[in-house]
Chain A
Amino acid sequence: MRSFIKPFLAVILAGLLAACSSTPTEEDTSSTDTMGQNTQTTPTTPVERPKPSKPETSSIPLTAENFHNHPSNYDGTTDTRVIYFAFDSNTVPAAAFESLRAHAKYLKQNPNAKVRLEGHADERGTREYNVALSERRAEAVQKFLRVQGVSASQLETVAYGEEKPAAFGHTEMDWAKNRRVVLNYTAGRP
């Protein structure tokens, strides 16, 4: 058992590192925004997808730090409707790639289906600035789907900032649950 978990953990950690590589220190939390949309957010097609080994996911501790990239949050199908983000990051987490590919495939096969990508931020910082940050998350997911070949006409983004939290507490875990993009099908729901 242990030998299975270890490599799997390594994959998760690698994904975490990739997702967090631009995550700044607490004293410089916003530097990812500075790069602008030219360099950031481009969730290019991943070279390698992490091997889903479902039985093991429960054995990986779920923390506020790895929440956005924890396999238990993504089932690899269109049933996954929420993509989580690391603190102050617009990078689509590696663990969500497979689920997003499933959405892309579905959208390509169902041209009448439309999805609204709803970006959210945690409560820290000012409200309109958070609206802007959350728009960047929604755009990151949009770009991912576009790169997969989804038509622009099937996608729409809306930025809610911190106005519609999923979790109402004020802990790191609550914030991790609130930094997200929700895929809301407005037509042709799978």
Chain B
Amino acid sequence: MMRIINVRSTFARVAAAMALTMLALSARAELMIQITEGRVDAVPIAVVPFAGASDAPENISDIVRADLHRSGQFKTLEPGDMLSRPTSADQLSFRDFRVLNQEYVVVGSMQKTDSGAYEVRYGLYDVTREKQLMTESYRPPESQLRDVAHAISDRIYEELTGIQGAFSTKILYVTFNRGTQNPYQLQYADADGARVRTIVRSKEPIMSPSWSPDGSKIAYVSFEKDGLPKIYVHDLASAQRRVVAQYKGINGAPAWSPDGQRLAVTLSKGGNPDIYSLDLNSGALEQLTDHYGIDTEPRWMPDGEHLVFTSSRSGGPQIYELDINDKSTRRVSFEGAYNARPDVTPDGRYLVYVHRRNGSFHVGVQDLQRGTFDIVTKTDMDESPSVAPNGSMIIYGTQYRGTGVLQAVSIDGRVKVELPSKEGEVREPAWSPFL
């Protein structure tokens, strides 16, 4: 496994929230065991039920507890195991939590005000030092209670790890429900799987969803209407969209440049799949690769000057890096005969891609600084890895009992989160930027 370089990056590996609904949480409780697999050092924290939470439309303390638990960084205490359930600082007896070996405790309340908004207060306390670390209050309307819950999770996570939390992010993904009128749907949800929104429904395939760097737009491939692939850019707030590529042959694999001005795309209009840069303002197209092998699945490096992509130019698929200025390429992956569909961590240090070993497809992580490569998943039909905006976790598609499901794993492979399958297949997750 990869070595830990410094404390900050240690924390950076472990974070983020995944798509378990509360229902599935109880129904598939045995899967939760895997979350802390390999992390005996998960930090014990007690999130005490907030006053008024059970009567509110969204139970903030339950959401925060689930967020922290799913990150794999924390071991959360079940409310039923608590000796006391304080809801404010003056009720808090540190001793009750110290005897349960808790390091931190969160207490709070949520109350409906006359205006209809909620008054949410909470505090984070260090049990050992018997000290308040943080206290905050919010006044959200009812519709934003979940946002406040995730914001609290982000604050607690950052306070205790030094890394920005990714609980307030979204996951974009494709679902497939065979036998329904529109089997292919493009959806997004909170990072914990709640608040699912459908963006597009289609009889024909939808593929390769990708976020703009500011999170306001998405790009994707849709075969709707005439059965031919087109690349769409879709504004989430207005639901307005436009076709940006409909050339002869493949129109695929859109990836947004860090400045949001361009899409890297795969087109085969030249007779062969190559990578192009499409200027979203002018519509101008620049060909970046020109090789008779397959070039596809581009991702921008954070510098905006380089791309990584899959190419078959040396035999089977391998990862290459391209300098967009002089169009020079160099091979990056060398282990095994199948490496494809790269993503990159926000700091540009790690490449995450699909690696085949003994006929199985796993997610692998390559450390570009140290040159090491490690397989981080135990599942064996893995695809479409996507890195969280804080670089902590990778969400990816795989199969569970023959059905497409999403799973998440920390960059170092120590935390594994198994996600319940919703109805039908879920595939091609794309983790949003910070929103």
B250 within 8 A of A: yes
Alpha-carbon distance between A158 and B223 when the two chains are bound, in angstroms: 10
Q: Is the CB of A29 within 8 A of B316?
A: yes
Q: Is the CB of A37 within 8 A of B292?
A: yes
Alpha-carbon distance between A168 and B293 when the two chains are bound, in angstroms: 29
Taking CB atoms, residues of chain B closer than 8 Å to A31 are 315-316
In the complex with contacts A127-B208, A131-B250, A29-B337 CB distance below 8 A: yes
Q: Is the CB of B249 within 8 A of A157?
A: yes
In the complex with contacts A26-B359, A135-B250, A159-B250, A128-B312 CB distance below 8 A: no
| B336-363 contact mask (Cβ, 8 Å, vs A): 1 or 0 | 0110110000000000001010010100
Q: Is the CB of A127 within 8 A of B315?
A: no
Contact check: which of A27, A129, A160, A163 meets B294 at CB < 8 Å? A129
Alpha-carbon distance between A129 and B314 when the two chains are bound, in angstroms: 15
In the complex with contacts A34-B293, A34-B315, A135-B268, A125-B178 CB distance below 8 A: no
Q: Is the CB of A28 within 8 A of B315?
A: yes
Alpha-carbon distance between A98 and B428 when the two chains are bound, in angstroms: 39
Contact check: which of B223, B229, B292, B314 meets A38 at CB < 8 Å? B292
Which A residues from 91 to 131 make CB contacts under 8 A with B? 116, 118, 123-129, 131
* Minimum CB distance partner of A28 in chain B: B337
Alpha-carbon distance between A161 and B297 when the two chains are bound, in angstroms: 13
Alpha-carbon distance between A132 and B178 when the two chains are bound, in angstroms: 24
* Minimum CB distance partner of A30 in chain B: B316
Alpha-carbon distance between A38 and B207 when the two chains are bound, in angstroms: 29
Alpha-carbon distance between A160 and B223 when the two chains are bound, in angstroms: 9
B384 within 8 A of A: yes
Contact check: which of B292, B310, B381, B402 meets A129 at CB < 8 Å? B310
* Minimum CB distance partner of A168 in chain B: B178
Least Cβ–Cβ distance between A91 and chain B, in angstroms: 16
Which B residues from 67 to 87 make CB contacts under 8 A with A? none
Alpha-carbon distance between A27 and B292 when the two chains are bound, in angstroms: 23
Alpha-carbon distance between A30 and B316 when the two chains are bound, in angstroms: 4
Interface size on A, residues (CB 8 A): 34
B391 within 8 A of A: no
In the complex with contacts A135-B268, A168-B178, A170-B402, A127-B294 CB distance below 8 A: no
Taking CB atoms, residues of chain A closer than 8 Å to B272 are 36-37
In the complex with contacts A164-B205, A169-B402, A125-B338 CB distance below 8 A: yes
Alpha-carbon distance between A153 and B337 when the two chains are bound, in angstroms: 38
A133 within 8 A of B: yes
Interface of B is mostly: loop
Least Cβ–Cβ distance between B335 and chain A, in angstroms: 12
Q: Is the CB of A128 within 8 A of B249?
A: no
Alpha-carbon distance between A123 and B402 when the two chains are bound, in angstroms: 12
Taking CB atoms, residues of chain A closer than 8 Å to B205 are 160, 163-164
| A132-174 contact mask (Cβ, 8 Å, vs B): 1 or 0 | 1101000000000000000000000111110110001110000
B165 within 8 A of A: no
Alpha-carbon distance between A187 and B271 when the two chains are bound, in angstroms: 24
Alpha-carbon distance between A151 and B404 when the two chains are bound, in angstroms: 41
Contact check: which of B227, B228, B296, B361 meets A128 at CB < 8 Å? B296
Alpha-carbon distance between A135 and B315 when the two chains are bound, in angstroms: 17
Contact check: which of A38, A116, A128, A168 meets B341 at CB < 8 Å? A128
| B297-335 contact mask (Cβ, 8 Å, vs A): 1 or 0 | 100000000000010111111000000000000000000
Q: Is the CB of A131 within 8 A of B252?
A: yes
A33 within 8 A of B: yes
Alpha-carbon distance between A116 and B227 when the two chains are bound, in angstroms: 10
Alpha-carbon distance between A34 and B291 when the two chains are bound, in angstroms: 11
Which B residues from 417 to 434 make CB contacts under 8 A with A? 428
Q: Is the CB of A123 within 8 A of B381?
A: yes
Q: List 27 A-B contacts (CB under 8 A).
A: A33-B294, A33-B317, A34-B312, A34-B316, A37-B292, A118-B227, A123-B381, A124-B361, A124-B381, A125-B340, A126-B310, A126-B317, A126-B354, A128-B207, A128-B253, A128-B266, A129-B340, A131-B207, A131-B296, A135-B249, A135-B268, A135-B273, A159-B229, A159-B249, A159-B268, A160-B205, A170-B402
Please name the 4 residue pairs, one residue from A and one from B, whose CB atoms are nearest each other, closest first.
Answer: A30-B316, A36-B292, A163-B205, A126-B341
